[in-house]
Amino acid sequence: MWMFGRVFMAAVVIVVWKCFEKLWLRPMRVQREMRAQGVRGPGYKLIEGNSREIFDMRVASMSQPMELSHRLLPRIQPYVHTWIQTYGTNYLQWDGLNPQLVVTDAEMIKEVLNDKDGAYVKPEPPVYFRKLFGDGLPYSAGEKWAKSRKISTHAFNGESLKASQPSAELMLEGWRGSDGKEIEVYGMFKLFTADVISRTAFGSSYEQGKNMFEMLSELTLIAVRNSFKNKLPVISKFWRSADDAESERLENEVKGLVLKMVRSREEKVLGGEASGYGDDFLGLLLKASHDADESRRIGAEAVVDECKTFYVAGSDTSNTLLTWTVFLMALHTEWQEEARKEVFEHFGGGKPHPDGLSRLKTMSMIINECLRLYPPTPGFLRHVEKRVTLGNLELPHNLNIFISTLALHHDTKIWGKEAQVFNPGRFSEGVARATDKNIAAFFPFGIGPRTCVGSHFAVMEAKIAIAMILQRYKFTLSPNYVHSPRQFITIRPQLGVQIIITATNYNDAEHGSMQIALP
Ligand code: HEM
C-alpha cells in the first residue's frame, strides 16, 4: 500500500511537471531565446498566449464598416499592423501555446517559401480544417503530395477553362431585366465559381453539387468560428463540443456524397457506358486510383480528400477575386472603360477566346492591382520541425512562421507612399518591373514549390467572366454599398458588393457597329 502511494505520487509529480514544462517553461525558454536574438513581441500569457488579444483586436477592427479606402492591414490583421510598428519587421506572437514568428522581411520570406529541403513544412491544420480538407493537397507531403500535385496541374490547364463560358452565360442570364437596377455580385459570383469548379473538376453543375457546397460551407463556418479558440490538449481528447459532433456529421455526409459521385463514374465504366473515367479532375483521380502501377496509384481516401479540397479551394478564392475586381472597376470607372475598350478590340461582341484572353493587358493590370490590394489569401503558415537558421536568426523547433501577404502588398517601403491607392498602372510593364524583381513583394498565389496549383485557372476564369460582363454592362457602385471587408479564410465583403448595371450600347461611332452576343 505504502509502495503504491509512492508510485502514485511520483506519477502525479511527473504529470504536473510535464504540464508545467509545456504550459510555462517551454514558452519562457523560446521567448528568452528569441529575445536574446533581438526578436521581441507581446509577452506569452499562460495557456492563451496572445490569442485573446488577437481576437479582441480583430473584433474591434471589424465591428464597424470602414471608410471607402483600401487600407486593409489595420482592419484585417490589426495585430500585425500594430505589432510590426512596436516590435519591428519580424516579431514573436503566441497562438495559444504555439510560438509564431511573424515574418515581413522579404528576403526571409523567400528563404522560407523556396525551401526544398523540408526545413519549413506545412503545419498540422487545426482539427476542423482537417475535416474540411482531409489530407488533401494543401496539407499533404512527400510522395502523396507529389502524385496529387501532378494530377491537379494536369487537370487545371487552359483546356479546362471551357467550363467558364457556359457558367458565365448562366449567371448573366440572371442579370437580364436588371438594366438600371442594383444587383449584389458577391452572391452571384459565389454560384458562378461553384458552377465553374463543378463543371471543370467533376463534370457536374452547381445545382447537382449544391448539397456538397452547402455542407462544405457549414464546415467552413465551424472551422472559422473555432480558429481562435484554444483547446487544452488533454481535456479536448475527452470532451466533445456541439461543433465537434456537427463537424463529424458533415464530414461523413460530404464523404458519402463524394463516394456516390465516384461510384457513379466507376459503374459507367464497368457497365460499358463509358470507355474511361474522363479527362476532368475526378476522371484523372479515378484513373490514378485504379492504376496498375503501384508507384502511381493513389488511395480511395486521397480521392475523397482531393475532391473536398478542390470544391473548397477552387470556389471561394476565385469568388473573392472576381468580387473585389468588379468593386474596384465600379469605383474607378475610367479603368473599367479602358478594360471594356480592350475587350471589344479583341473579341468584339463574340465569345472570349484563349488567345485574346492572354493578351488583355489592361485587364491583367487591374486584376494584379486587385490581388495586391485585396489578396484573397491574406497570410499563411509554415512550421519549423527541426532547429534551423533563417537569415541571421536561429529558430527553435516546433515554431510556426506566419507570412502576411497583406503586410507585404501594402508596404510603403516596397510600393511607395501611395501603396494604398488603386493604380493598375504600376503593373504596366509587368509584375517583375513593378516589384523590381522582388518576388516577395507580390505573391498572391504564394512562392516556391507549394504555390497555388489553380493560379492560372483562377485568373483566366476571372478574365472570362469580367470580359463577358464588360461586353454587356457598364456598372457603378451603388449608393447602398457599405465597405466592410472581413477575413473569413479569404477576404470577403461582409455586406456584399452592390452595383448598378446599365446595358452597354456599343453601336456608337466610337466603337463602330458591334453585334453583342447577349445570352
Ligand atoms: C484568386 C484565386 C486564388 C488565390 C489568391 C489562391 C491562393 C493560394 C495560395 C497563396 C496558396 C499557397 C499557400 C501556401 O503556400 O501555403 C495556394 C495553394 C493552393 N491553391 Fe490556390 N488560390 C486561388 C485559387 C485556387 C483555385 C481556383 C484552386 C483550384 C482549382 C486552388 C487550389 C489550391 C491548392 C490545391 C493549393 C495547395 C497547393 C500545394 O500545396 O501544392 N487555388 N493558393
Determine the distance separating the centroid of ligand 1 and the alpha carbon of 161, expressed in angstroms: 17
Q: Given this model, what pLDDT does residue 508 score? A: 43
Place 6 in a pLDDT band, splitting at 50, 70 and 90. Answer: confident
Q: Given this model, what pLDDT does residue 506 score? A: 63
Domain membership flag for residue 49: yes
Q: Residue 138 above 80 pLDDT?
A: yes
b (16+ CB within 10 A) / e for 84-123: beebeebbbbbbbbbbbbbbbbbebbbbbbebeeebbeeb
Please write the tens of the pLDDT for every residue from 336-365: 999 999 999 999 999 999 899 999 999 999
b (16+ CB within 10 A) / e for 293-319: eeeeebeeebbbbbbbbbbbbbbbbbb
Q: Given this model, what pLDDT does residue 513 score? A: 39
370 annotated as ligand-binding = no
Determine the distance separating the centroid of ligand 1 and the alpha carbon of 310, expressed in angstroms: 9
Q: Given this model, what pLDDT does residue 235 score? A: 63
Sign of the torsion angle spanned by Cα atoms 354, 355, 356, 361: positive
Looking up residue 84, the CATH number of its domain turns out to be: 1.10.630.10
Among 452, 466, 490, name the best residue to mutate to test ligand 1's pocket (greatest count of ligand atoms within 8 A of Cβ): 452
Ligand 1 close to Cβ of residue 137 (< 6 A): yes
Ligand 1 close to Cβ of residue 490 (< 6 A): no
Domain membership flag for residue 419: yes
Determine the distance separating the centroid of ligand 1 and the alpha carbon of 189, expressed in angstroms: 18
Ligand 1 close to Cβ of residue 318 (< 6 A): yes
Contact 323, 186 (CB under 8 A): yes
Determine the distance separating the centroid of ligand 1 and the alpha carbon of 376, expressed in angstroms: 10
Q: Given this model, what pLDDT does residue 269 score? A: 93
Domain membership flag for residue 508: no
Ligand 1 close to Cβ of residue 149 (< 6 A): yes
Place 226 in a pLDDT band, splitting at 50, 70 and 90. Answer: confident
> In the chain, how many domains are there?
1
Which tops the pLDDT comparison, 460 or 510?
460
Domain membership flag for residue 353: yes
Domain membership flag for residue 518: no
- pLDDT, mean of residues 147-173: 87
- pLDDT, mean of residues 234-253: 86
- pLDDT, mean of residues 80-90: 98
Q: Which atom of ligand 1 is nearest to the CA of 371?
A: 5
Contact 128, 223 (CB under 8 A): yes
Write the ipTM.
0.99
Residue % of the chain over a pLDDT of 70: 94
Q: Given this model, what pLDDT does residue 238 score? A: 72
Question: What are the grid coordinates assigned to 178, written together?
Answer: 436588371
Ligand 1 close to Cβ of residue 453 (< 6 A): yes
Q: Given this model, what pLDDT does residue 7 score? A: 87
Q: Residue 519 above 50 pLDDT?
A: no
Strand order in the sheet with 498-503: 182-184, 498-503, 473-477
Domain membership flag for residue 517: no
Please write the tens of the pLDDT for every residue from 187-210: 999 999 999 999 989 988 888 888
Ligand 1 close to Cβ of residue 445 (< 6 A): yes
Domain membership flag for residue 510: no
Domain membership flag for residue 189: yes
Determine the distance separating the centroid of ligand 1 and the alpha carbon of 377, expressed in angstroms: 8
Q: Name the residue range of residue 423's domain.
A: 1-503
Report phi then psi at 513, rounded to 5: -85, 120
Q: Given this model, what pLDDT does residue 233 score? A: 60
